[in-house]
Amino acid sequence: MSSDSDYEAALSVWFAKPKPAAEDDDLFGQGKITQAQTEAMERIRGWVQERFKLAPESAILVSEVTCNLPGCPPLETVVAFWENEKRYHFKLFKPVEEVTQDNLPFAWMKDELVVPEGFGCECC
């Protein structure tokens, strides 16, 4: 058996494990969003709009996701935004409440954040 097969087998076992649901889980199983998380997401939206000079009506999605892959941080912040029919996105490897303005990519990196047409992405 090759190391690729071993890795694939390990991932299959990892993803097959059912996760216990908490009583207060929301529709997506992430748990209820706290006021602090909501405020942090709004702050990040504002920073993204300012940093990348987006129009006030631009769609900006900020979410906190759980990573199930071995070696990933348990919580990641995912940011996606749309401008001129292009989708951009980036991840920050920390919970939404810990994100600071300095964690955002530099404005000059904007073109590198474009998601290519047909790119499969589970986060956004």
| Residues in CB range of 88: below 8 A, 6 or more apart | 52, 80, 81, 82, 110, 113, 114, 115
Per residue in 52-73, pLDDT (tens digit) is 999 999 999 999 998 878 888 8
CB 52 within 8 A of CB 81: yes
Q: What is the pLDDT of residue 111?
A: 93
Q: Which residue intervals of the chain are DSSP H helices?
A: 3-16, 35-51
More confidently predicted of 14 and 63: 63
Q: What is the pLDDT of residue 15?
A: 57
* Full domain range(s) for residue 41: 22-113
Residue 105 belongs to some domain of the structure: yes
Residue 91 belongs to some domain of the structure: yes
Q: What is the model's pTM? A: 0.71
Residue 41, exposed/middle/buried by CB under 10 A (0-12, 13-18, 19+)?
buried
Percent of the chain with pLDDT over 90: 56
Minimum mean pLDDT among 1-5, 19-23, 74-78, 86-90: which range?
19-23
Per residue in 73-111, pLDDT (tens digit) is 889 999 999 998 899 999 999 999 999 999 999 999 999
Residue 90 belongs to some domain of the structure: yes
Residue 102 belongs to some domain of the structure: yes
- How many domains does one find in the chain? 1
